[in-house]
Amino acid sequence: MQQVNVGLIGGGTVGGGVFRALDRNGDLLAARTGVRIRVHRVAVKAFDEPRKVAIPESMLTTDWRAVVEDSGVDVVAELAGGTTVAREMILTALRLGKPVVTANKALLSAHGEALFAAAAKAGTNLYYEASVAGGIPIIKALRDGFVGNRIPHLYGIVNGTCNYILTRMQQEGAGFDEVLKEAQRLGYAEAEPSLDIDGWDSQHKVGILASLAHGFWVRPDQIHVEGIRGVTPLDIRFAGQLGYTIKLLGVVKSVPDRRSERTGGEAPVVVAVYPALVPNAHVLASVQDAFNAVFVRGDLVGDTLFYGRGAGQDPTASAVLSDLVDAARDWIHQTPRRIPPFVPHASKGRVLPLADAVSRYYVRLAVVDRPGVLARVAAILGRNRIGISSVIQPEGHPGGSVPLILMIHDAPNRSMARALRQMGRLAAVKAPPVVLRVETFA
């Protein structure tokens, strides 16, 4: 049996999980692949840090270079996270011609192109299945399974923390702050939660998915990001009454424009993260708790759904093991670039800024309950050529103001922003309008 030696960088949740998974399923992997994958050395932050998974002390070092540069290490798994030292670790391993496996979405999102170029230059490979949606094999699906498809759209619930919070808010009618605190207490949310709840983690992941789906690297600054801090129980309830569930979506949509239609070239792509109303009849509406799901439409395959755990020790280990097997096979068979990590193939690929696209909207205004208010709101929308698909003023809201809910047909985002500013200036409108996009998945 051929053997491949792995150097792990990181002995914490992810690294420890990989170590334990190799121990548990190493025989199975060997039987299935003909390759024995063995951990050779592990770089950790400190020898005495608490570790849930025990790793033999003889394997440990606190010097990542001692792992990467060890001639006995064939494949490096960077599972430490961060974007500075981790970048150096990966580049060093690649320059030595060693394949690298990483789960580092923040790093790939920011420096993916340069890292892939370094891998190509060194004639080796970089694998990153665990970087998006944890245990769900969505990278392989886009890179290999759907290689024959164009991808008109892809929607992902790719942040488990946000999905957990939104699910609890919906089930309990509780406010965002209260549920966030509870999620932090239970360990579902980080003590510093902004990476998750402000949408940045989703931005990293959706950028990687968009790049794979469309063949050019989508930079983080091209991705519109809104998080879930502004989602209220009131809007979750009204959305429910209208037949929708609010989800934080990563959105990748091909939007044909005049230029692409005239030239027959690639349509530009909207890449964004925002909380949206999802029709209850759509499968993404029923993705609950910390689960992730990615809904992909291919022009040949049609609609597909990938569902599973997007984080956690074992699901992440599952993805890393799959990459380690690919890297090990390449190492054994000397086929280092059999599956290149990312092939830019759309030289004219473009991102369409969300501001230049159209969206459907849910708008909630807090208005004084007086005759003529609805007419003034409707007049603003009319002047901006924005169509209303329905209006509801739910009863039973006594007080200084009442909610007025407007469902808006597809509207240019710039016109909508202007109309909202004008509505906000009406004396009868008592609070800044609440605005959420509505997805139809058409």
Return the active site residues.
Answer: 205
Residue 394 burial class via C-beta count within 10 angstroms: exposed 0-12, middle 13-18, buried 19 and up: middle
Residue from 135, 156, 160, 193 binding ligand HSE (CB under 6 A): 160
Element containing residue 153 per DSSP (H, E): strand 153-157
Minimum separation from the CB atom of position 103 to ligand HSE (A): 8
At what angle are helices 233-241 and 160-172 packed, to 10 degrees?
70
The residues, any chain, with a CB within 8 Å of residue 311's CB and separated by 6 or more, are 134, 160, 290, 292
Please, what is the minimum distance in Å from the beta carbon of residue 190 to ligand HSE? 7
Q: Does 159 bind ligand HSE (CB under 6 A)?
A: yes
Closest to ligand HSE by CB, 196 or 266: 196
Q: Does 201 bind ligand HSE (CB under 6 A)?
A: yes
What's the min distance (Å) between Cβ of 187 and ligand HSE? 11
**According to CB under 6 A, which residues from 232 to 271 bind ligand HSE?**
none
Q: Are 414 and 356 in contact (CB under 8 A)?
A: yes
DSSP string for 162-174:
HHHHHHHHHHH--
d(CA 361, CA 355): 14
Nearest C-alpha neighbor of 314 from the set 5, 108, 46, 24: 24
Q: Residue 86 carries which side chain, given as an amino acid letter?
A: A
For 28, counting Cβ atoms within 10 Å of its Cβ (0-12 exposed, 13-18 middle, 19+ buried), the class is: exposed
311 in contact with ligand HSE (CB under 6 A): yes
Give the H or E element holding residue 100. strand 100-102
Give the nearer residue to ligand HSE in terms of CB position, either 196 or 323: 196
Identity of the residue, 159 or 384, whose beta carbon is nearer to ligand HSE in the bound complex: 159
Check binding of 17 to ligand HSE (CB under 6 A): no
Is the separation of the CB atoms in 386 and 361 below 8 Å? no
Binding segment (CB under 6 A) for ligand HSE, from list 136-144, 158-166, 351-359, 391-399: 158-166
Which residue, 33 or 161, is less far from ligand HSE as judged by CB? 161
Binder to ligand HSE among 7, 275, 310, 349 (CB under 6 A)?
310
Strands (E), 181-236: 224-225
- Establish if 199 lies at the interface with ligand HSE (CB under 6 A): no
Compute the least distance from the CB of residue 159 to ligand HSE, in Å. 4
Residue 76 in the binding site for ligand HSE (CB under 6 A): no
Between 295 and 362, CB nearer to ligand HSE:
295
Token pair of 274 as six digits: 């925002």
Does position 16 interact with ligand HSE (CB under 6 A)? The reply is no
Structure tokens at 361: 């909207």
Residue 196 is a binding residue for ligand HSE (CB under 6 A): yes
Minimum CB distance to ligand HSE smaller for 166 or for 366? 166
Instruction: Select from 35-43, 153-161, 324-332, 338-346 the region that touches ligand HSE (CB under 6 A).
Output: 153-161
Stretch that binds ligand HSE, among 27-35, 69-77, 154-162, 359-367 (CB under 6 A): 154-162
298 binds ligand HSE (CB under 6 A): no
Cα separation of 7 and 78, whole Å? 8
Cα angle for residues 235, 285, 389 (degrees, 5° grid): 55
Q: Which is nearer to ligand HSE, 276 or 352 (CB)?
A: 276
- Residue for token pair 């792992």: 67
Nearest of 275, 300, 325, 332 to residue 137 by alpha carbon = 325
Residues at the contact surface with ligand HSE, assessed by CB under 6 A: 159-161, 196, 201, 310-311
